[in-house]
Amino acid sequence: MVILVWDKIIPRHQMTDFMGLEIKEWISANLSGVKGFVDKVSNWDILFGSLLGNIRLHQNEFVFNGNEISYELIIEASIRLQQECSAGGMASIHGGIVIQRSIQPSTR
């Protein structure tokens, strides 16, 4: 499921570089925007942090409650949070951390 999230966000020609970093470098590079894997996305640091948080949230939901959430809902919730943060004037995130409230998946 996680690879499906990144596959929809990261251009295919950059996927190897995106997935090839050590975990600390990967997180740091994406939160600081150094690598620029997704050049056309404004506030990539916010979207990246939102995606990580939502992936973990939904993995825990599956492990502890048996509820599977689609990768589309993870992406949708992350984009919504990124837009809310951006609209609220959050040009950067303190310490590279997005503090996330619980996001309920939308019903379709």
| pLDDT tens-digit readout, 8-22 | 988 888 889 888 989
Backbone angles phi, psi at 12, to 5 degrees: -55, -40
pLDDT of amino acid 108: 47
Residue with more model confidence, 40 or 20? 20
CA–CA dist 106, 39 (Å, integer): 28
Work out the pLDDT band at 35, boundaries 50, 70, 90: low
**Nearest by Cα to 70 from 8, 26, 25:** 8
Q: pLDDT tens, 51-83?
A: 999 999 999 999 999 999 899 999 999 999 999
Percent of the chain with pLDDT over 90: 44
Cα atoms found within 13 Å of the Cα of residue 29, Cβ hemisphere only = 14
